[in-house]
Amino acid sequence: MTSSRTMRITANQSPHRTNHIARALRSFISLLPPVGLSSPPPGRPQGISVYMRVKDERDWINASIASIRGIADEAVVVDNGSTDGTYEILQDMARKETGFLKLWRKPDLHHCDLSNFALKQTSFRWVLRWDGDMVAHTDGKHPIAELRARILRLNPHRYYLIYLRHINLSGDAFHQDPREMVHIEEYIHTFSEDARFIHPGRFEALRFPLYYKPLFWYEPYVFHVNIKPARRMLLRYFWEDWMELKDYLHYPTLEDYALAHIEKEFGTPLMEEAQNSCMGKVLQNHISFDANLFGPYPAMLKPLLDQTPYRIQYQGGRISGRTEPED
pLDDT digits (tens, 9 = 90+) for 101-155: 999 999 999 889 999 999 999 999 999 999 999 999 999 999 999 999 999 999 9
Contacts of 20 (CB under 8 A, 6+ apart): none
Q: What is the pLDDT of residue 12?
A: 43
Q: If you count DSSP H runs as helices and E runs as strands, how many of each does the chain have, helices first?
A: 11, 15
- At 133, the amino acid letter reads D
Q: Is the domain of 206 the same as that of 235?
A: no
Q: Is the domain of 52 the same as that of 110?
A: yes
Q: What is the pLDDT of residue 124?
A: 97
The total of structural domains in the chain comes to 2
Q: What is the pLDDT of residue 200?
A: 85
The residue from 226, 261, 290 where one domain ends is 226
Q: What is the pLDDT of residue 15?
A: 64
Domain CATH for 200: 3.90.550
Q: Is the domain of 115 the same as that of 27?
A: yes
217 part of a folded domain: yes
The residue from 198, 226, 254 where one domain ends is 226
pTM, to two decimals: 0.88
288 part of a folded domain: yes
Q: Is the domain of 167 the same as that of 137?
A: yes
Q: Is the domain of 199 the same as that of 61?
A: yes
Q: Is the domain of 210 the same as that of 237?
A: no
Distance, in Å, from the CA atom of 277 to the CA atom of 7, rounded to the nearest integer, reads: 32
Residue 99: give the domain boundaries.
17-226
5 part of a folded domain: no
Residues of the chain with pLDDT under 50: 1-12
The enclosing H or E element of 224 equals strand 222-226
- Sign of the torsion formed by the C-alpha atoms of 254, 255, 257 and 262: positive
CB 13 within 8 A of CB 37: no
**DSSP structure string for 185-207:** EEEEEE--TT-EEE--SSS-EEE
Distance, in Å, from the CA atom of 135 to the CA atom of 221, rounded to the nearest integer, reads: 9
Q: What is the pLDDT of residue 3?
A: 41
Q: Is the domain of 181 the same as that of 237?
A: no
Q: Is the domain of 116 the same as that of 30?
A: yes
Angle at which helices 271-283 and 230-245 cross, to 10°: 90
The residue from 210, 226, 242 where one domain ends is 226
